[in-house]
């Protein structure tokens, strides 16, 4: 059998780090290819699988190799409390672009215009996965596959299409951009093929994104409150889309 530590070191630079039980569970459940998974306590992880995720127990049993704690912390300097970590193959950009461009689109694409906060990006990917959105596209410099984003997204990057694009490269579809100055979302039906665009935590929607927007829509908010958090805004908007009855069960 291949030495998992050696395999880890060989693959690390080009792989997605799955840090902790939930990230690994979701990645396996949504079809990620996981060439190496290590833990300091194989029995404890399999017991967790029995309790929380029996559907992936057999897969984890096959994947997991137990290694000493010193070797584990050398691979993962700040380990998750569940003491399990794995490397997954990142889905190809070509496959994600194909998913994002596929028509007819049956669920919106979420666009984060130059997001700054890795935790927000992870929370949004988790929301998009939960609501069955087609994908999450980010513009700007933040890497949506950064390990902190993957950790925040609980490994659910594998349940939706996650890519970084420029505004010019956004897939086709009507752009509904969320902005406190827009028309009230409660009077708006968000179509399944919509691109739902959200501005940066610091400066809101960029001029470029605004010029691509077909509609500006706002979330109800009492006067004197300036704005909602980015991820909460995405949550309300996806809920509004789903409440119209078109979201997949």
Ligand X SMILES: C[S@@+](CC[C@H](N)C(=O)[O-])C[C@H]1O[C@@H](n2cnc3c(N)ncnc32)[C@H](O)[C@@H]1O
What is the binding site for ligand X (CB under 6 A)?
Answer: 178-180, 198-199, 201, 203-205, 218-219, 221, 227-230, 233
- Return the number of the residue (107 or 205) whose C-beta is nearest ligand X: 205
Taking the complex as a whole, how short is the minimal distance between the CB of residue 58 and ligand X, in angstroms?
A: 42
- Min CB(209)–ligand X separation in Å: 9
Q: Is the CB of 129 or the CB of 230 nearer to ligand X?
A: 230
Whole-angstrom distance, CA of residue 240 vs CA of residue 234: 10
State the minimum distance, in angstroms, from the CB of residue 148 to ligand X. 19
CB 127 within 8 A of CB 237: no
Q: Which CB, 10 or 218, lies closer to ligand X? A: 218
- Cβ atoms of 89 and 33 closer than 8 Å: yes
Q: Taking the complex as a whole, how short is the minimal distance between the CB of residue 219 and ligand X, in angstroms?
A: 4
Give whichever of 52 and 221 is closer to ligand X, judged by the CB atom: 221
Q: 194 near 241, Cβ under 8 Å?
A: yes
> Nearest residue to ligand X, using CB?
199
The beta-carbon contacts of 144-149 under 8 Å, at least 24 apart in sequence, are 144/112, 145/16, 145/90, 146/118, 146/121, 147/16, 147/17, 147/19, 148/118, 148/119, 148/122, 149/118, 149/121, 149/122, 149/125
**Closer CB to ligand X, 10 or 227, in the complex:** 227
Tokens of 217: 């829509």
Find the shortest distance in angstroms from Cβ 109 to ligand X: 15
């Amino acid at each position: 059998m291949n030495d998992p530590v050696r395999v880890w070191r060989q693959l690390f630079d080009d792989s997605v780090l799955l840090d902790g039980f939930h990230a690994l569970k979701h990645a396996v459940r949504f079809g990620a290819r996981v060439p190496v998974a290590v833990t300091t306590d194989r029995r404890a992880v399999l017991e967790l699988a029995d309790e929380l995720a029996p559907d992936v127990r057999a897969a984890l049993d096959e994947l997991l190799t137990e290694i000493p704690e010193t070797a584990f912390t050398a691979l993962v300097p700040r380990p998750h409390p569940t003491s399990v970590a794995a490397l997954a193959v990142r889905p190809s950009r070509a496959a994600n672009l194909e998913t994002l461009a596929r028509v007819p689109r049956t669920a919106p694409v979420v666009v984060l215009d130059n997001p700054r906060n890795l935790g927000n990006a992870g929370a949004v990917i988790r929301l998009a996965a939960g609501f069955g959105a087609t994908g999450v596209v980010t513009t700007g410099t933040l890497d949506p596959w950064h390990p902190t984003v993957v950790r925040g997204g609980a490994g659910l990057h594998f349940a939706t299409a996650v890519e970084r694009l420029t505004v010019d490269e956004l897939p086709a579809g009507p752009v509904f951009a969320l902005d406190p100055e827009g028309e009230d979302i409660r009077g708006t039906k968000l179509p399944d093929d919509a691109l739902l665009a959200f501005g940066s935590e610091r400066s809101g929607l960029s001029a470029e994104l605004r010029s691509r927007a077909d509609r500006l829509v706002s979330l109800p908010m009492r006067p004197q409150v300036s704005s909602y958090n980015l991820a909460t805004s995405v949550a309300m908007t996806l809920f509004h889309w789903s409440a119209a009855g078109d979201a997949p069960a």
